[in-house]
Amino acid sequence: MELGISGKSAIICAGSRGLGRGCAEHLADAGCTIFLNGRNEEVLLKTALEIEERTEAKVITVLGDISQKKTQEQLFHVCPDPDILVNNNGGPPFRDFRELDREKIIDGVTQNMITPIELIQHYIDGMADRGFGRIVNITSSSVLSAIPGLDLSSGARAGLTSFLAGVARPMVAKNVTINQILPGKFDTDRIRGSLSFAAEKKGTSAEQEANESMAGIPAKRFGTPDEFGALCAFLCSAHAGYLTGQNFLIDGGLNPNAF
């Protein structure tokens, strides 16, 4: 399918690996100029080069933690008028809620709620003025189904979802949409880290934990960043102008709810 966004500019936060990279790959395939953010300079530059070589898309890198003001200012400078914004960021690690002090809670909320709101505040009116904007926020399936130990991440992302529900509706008449994608268990560094953490606590192996986890998914496997990126690219496409304020669960059937 031709997505109708060739020549558009797309920001992908935390896009040098994992789900963010999957989004960057598909948006590059669609003909977008990519503004790629990441914290690790070596990984960021390698990813940018690989995307450029495979797709011939132009990729501009923005190094740093997107929650930091200096990184945001750099992004605003190099990409003042994006058409597409993919909000993504690392979440707090697995941790018993009793271990969370005020500083850790504030950091988690900053990463997963405040930062995307700040970027949307900066860019959304320009999108409306130009008559096109697609904003996709990568949250988590834990917004719908609790995952013990990810309470801070889940709470911050749920807060973002509720906050943006009211923001999205007035903007869709200007052809600016805001949607969330809720990933389940995907083959990324984050899940591998959580599997290793679980294996260490239980005295098993990461491979055993992975097999047990996949057995509980109806698809019997983890998702891939490529699958995730394809969904993101569609939500960013010219065909998705009637979809806004929605949450798209992509989890291989793990959540059993009918609605």
Residue-wise pLDDT for 76-119, tens only, equals: 999 999 999 999 998 888 888 999 999 999 999 999 999 999 99
User: 62 falls in which pLDDT band (50, 70, 90)?
Assistant: very high
Q: What is the pTM of this model?
A: 0.95
- DSSP-derived secondary structure for 37-74: EES-HHHHHHHHHHHHHHH---EEEEES-TTSHHHHHH
Q: Is 171 exposed, middle or buried (0-12, 13-18, 19+ CB in 10 A)?
A: buried
Cα–Cα dist 86/68, whole Å:
17
According to DSSP, residue 93 is labeled: P
Which tokens go with 215?
A: 């057995």
E-strand stretches of 75-138: 84-87, 133-138
So what's the pLDDT on residue 201? 82
Give, in words, the CATH class of 9-186+224-250.
alpha beta
Q: For the chain, what are the domain ranges?
A: 9-186+224-250, 188-222
| pLDDT tens for each residue of 173-201 | 999 999 999 999 999 987 887 788 788 88
